[in-house]
Amino acid sequence: MRIALTALSVLALSAPLAAQDHSHHGDHATTEAKQDAAKAEKKKQKKICKNVGNMGTRFSEKVCLTEAEWEAERRATQDGIRDAKR
């Protein structure tokens, strides 16, 4: 009888602990997702430097922009070429 009561007590006390472990696991996944998003954002904010040649000179100029700024520059150049073809 004592063994049965002891076993029931252990099970009753361990159930809330098991539920807490699962809730922390969900928080951990959410935290990892936030950290991954922050790393991706930080990567976009990182400056990328390139040597860009200027028309009419053999000297190049060092230009440092973020990934998003390089992408905007690339799109603007493509749009200018597309418009010139019309």
Tens digits of per-residue pLDDT, 7-57?
Answer: 555 556 655 555 555 445 556 778 888 888 887 777 768 999 999 998 888
* Terminal Cα distance for the chain, rounded: 92
Residue type for position 80: G
Q: Is 22 or 65 the better-scoring residue by pLDDT?
A: 65
Structure tokens belonging to residue 49: 């430097």
The number of angstroms, rounded, from the C-alpha of 77 to the middle of its chain's C-alpha atoms is 28
Give mean pLDDT, residues 64-69: 93
Tell me which H or E stretch contains 66: strand 60-66
State the pLDDT at residue 49: 95
Q: How confident is the model at residue 60 (pLDDT cuts 50, 70, 90)?
A: very high
